[in-house]
Amino acid sequence: MGTIDEVRKMREQGLEREQIRIRLIKNGLSEEQVQEIFSQTDIKEAVSPIVEEIDQMNMQPSMLTTEQQNQERSEKDPQEIQNKNQAPIEQQYQQEQESPQVEEQPYLPIPAPEPQEYSQQYDPQYQQPYQDYQQYPSALSPDTISEIAEQAIMEKIGPIKDLLEKSIDLKNTLNVKIDHLFERIQRIESIIDKLQISVLQRVGEYVSNISDIKKEIIETQKSF
C-alpha cells in the first residue's frame, strides 16, 4: 500500500509513467509488480472522488437536521418572549382592579414587543452547502470508468500478449527452418537416386565387360 502512495506522490510531482517505472524497478520490484501497482493506483484514483462524494452525502443529513433545529428555535423564541412580556402586564392589570379606585385614569396598555425576526438573522451560508451539493457534478462519467478499466485490463494481459507474440515468432522461425531442412532432404534424396543409378550403370558395364572377356577367352581356347 505504501508503494501505491509513493506512486501517487510521484505523479503529483509531475513524473511520467516511464520515469516512475524505472524508479520502482531500481528499488527492486519486478516488471509484473510494477504493472500491478500501476493498476491499483489507477483504480484508487478513479474511486477516490466517488468515495468523497458519498462522504459528503452522509454529512449532509446532519447539517440539514441542525438547520431545522435552528429554524424551529427561531420560530419558538418570539412566541416565548411575547408570553413572558404579557404575563407582567396581566398581573399589573389585575392588581389595579383589586386596589381601591381613587381616581379613574385611562388604561394605557403597554404594547408587547414585536418579535424579532431571528429567522432573517440566520446565516444563509448554512444553506449554501446543500445548494452546492445539488449542483455538484458527477465525479467520473461511465466512459471514463470504462476507459480506466480497459487500461487496467490491457496492463494485466500485456505480459500474456507479449508471450503469445514471442510464441508466434518462434513458430514462424521454426516453420522456415523446417521448410529449409525439407528442401535439403529432397536434394539429398535426389543425389542418392543419381548415385544409385550411376552405380547400377557401372555394375551393368562391369558385367558386360566380364561377358566380353569370357567370350574372348573361349574363342582363344578354341583357337588352340
The radius of gyration computed from the CA coordinates of the chain, to the nearest angstrom, equals 53
Q: Give the C-alpha separation, 179 to 194, whole Å.
A: 23
| CA angle (91 as vertex; 89, 96 as ends), nearest 5 | 95
- Cα distances from 219 to residues 165, 207, 208, 216, in angstroms, run 81, 18, 17, 5
**Residue 90: its pLDDT value, please?**
55
**Residue 137: its pLDDT value, please?**
46
Q: Is 28 helix (H, G, I), strand (E, B) or coil?
A: coil
Low-confidence residues of the chain, pLDDT below 50? 1, 99-104, 106, 115, 117-122, 124, 126-137
**Residue 168: its pLDDT value, please?**
92
Q: Give the C-alpha separation, 43 to 49, whole Å.
A: 11
| pTM for this prediction | 0.28
